[in-house]
Structure 1
Amino acid sequence: MATNPRSWCRAFFKLGNYCEDVENNSTESFNSSINKAREKPFVHMLETIARLAMVRIATRSRESHEHQGKCTPYMQRVLSKALVDKPFKDGANKCVVRRSVKGYFDSRLNGQTHRVHLEKRTCSCRKFDITGIPCKHAYGVMLKLKVDPSDYVCEWFRTAKWRRNYTDGIVPVRGSMFWPKTDAPDVHAPP
């Protein structure tokens, strides 16, 4: 308690974000992609950034609509890796699973019991709740029930959501000669 567990302990993580990583890669990726645009005057810089975003969104839209599968390629890799990762697979196989009521299961591994609910996508270890990706206790239940783990992955990692995210992109804007004119004075760079 002296080290403020709210900043790192799984018990205090906020639910609903469904993210297994906390980093700023997206910010760094964005900053890297706009390097050339930064050197331009303000309006040209914004136009360049809009074009870069438009092309990136169009590419992702095409990829998502061409993809066949229930889960995104990223999640397919995560699920495949989990099923070949020896400690994870062995842990899931060693889970002693007992059915309870109202959709709950008792999943016991190495002397520790966890409460799993597949439909709610929860496990008392909290990994499933936080990441939206089944933990080994939940996998143990899935193995016993002989169900497909991809059916229990969070909706944010599914192809349908991925497609929806990239369906509406940025529509090209006509050049500055077509912009509306005003009676306001022109803006000039200071001397």
Structure 2
Amino acid sequence: MSEGFNSVLLTTRSKPIITLLEEIRLYIMQRWAKNRSRISSFTGSISPKIQSRFRKESQLTKSWIPSWSGNKLFEVRHMSNSGDKFVVNIDDSSCTCRTWMITGIPCCHSLAAMKFLNIDGEQFIDPCYMKSTYEETYSSIIYPINGANMWNITPYPDVSPPHKRVLLGRPKRK
């Protein structure tokens, strides 16, 4: 994220601080407005990228066989006898492959267990991927500002840089 932000500001880095800050404000204002308009095109309650990733994971469930242990605890093994087994606890939102815990998106093992119980896997997707969270993130507005010629003139004197003092003693060698 920071590398992408830095690449946008390459041309403005050499400008004075006020101009740099104005460019940053303008960039963020336009980007947030674009993201707000993108939210309105979302269909469903999950962002599109996460929805496609969720679909891919749910397609992989065909090759996993869940074995119910009790409550919402499962042992999920692969169709081939390759020895791949994972323990899924739906109540804790955990799987021993750790994909679900790390990403917040249910893995194919947990989705296979959820299908066994007829539970909708979308309910277990982390709230940070929901449309409502995305809307809340970009709900605040960065307001536009008038140009410097429209600013109110204050009765105070303009701020100038401090006077350069001549230090006593012999100057230091560089």
TM-score of the aligned structures, taking structure 2 as reference length: 0.76
- Residue in 2 that maps onto 1:62: 37
Letter in 2 for 1:96: I
Q: Is the 8 A contact 1:116 1:124 kept in 2?
A: yes
Superposed CA RMSD in Å reads 2.6
Secondary structure of 1:115's partner? strand
Alpha-carbon distance between aligned partners in 1 of 2:22 and 2:41, rounded to the nearest angstrom: 29
- Residue in 1 that maps onto 2:143: 171
Letter in 2 for 1:144: F
- Residue in 1 that maps onto 2:129: 157
Give percent identity, aligned residues only.
Answer: 25
| 1:48 maps onto 2:20 in alignment | no
Alpha-carbon distance between aligned partners in 1 of 2:11 and 2:54, rounded to the nearest angstrom: 38
- Residue in 2 that maps onto 1:98: 67
Letter in 1 for 2:101: D
Runs of 4+ in 1 over 4 A off after TM superposition: 179-184
1:65/1:153 Cα in 2 relative to 1: closer, same or farther (>3 Å)?
same
Q: State which of 108, 125, 134 in structure 1 corresponds to 2:77.
A: 108
Task: Write 1 or 2 for the structure with the bigger share of helix.
Answer: 1
TM-score of the aligned structures, taking structure 1 as reference length: 0.70
Give deviations 1:102-159, integer Å, cap 9, x for gaps. 4322222342432212343211221110111222211221332344332221111111
Query: How many pairs were matched up?
Result: 158
Runs of 5+ consecutive residues of structure 2 not aligned to the other structure: 165-174
Letter in 1 for 2:143: V
Q: Which moved more, 1:97-106 or 1:60-69?
A: 97-106
Q: Is the 8 A contact 1:134 1:153 kept in 2?
A: yes
Letter in 1 for 2:160: D
| 1:124 maps onto 2:96 in alignment | yes
1:183/1:101 Cα in 2 relative to 1: closer, same or farther (>3 Å)?
farther
Larger Rg: 2
| 1:32 maps onto 2:13 in alignment | no
Q: State which of 145, 159, 170 in structure 2 corresponds to 1:185.
A: 159
Runs of 5+ consecutive residues of structure 1 not aligned to the other structure: 1-25
Q: Does 1 or 2 have the higher relative contact order (CA < 8 Å, sep 6+)?
A: 1
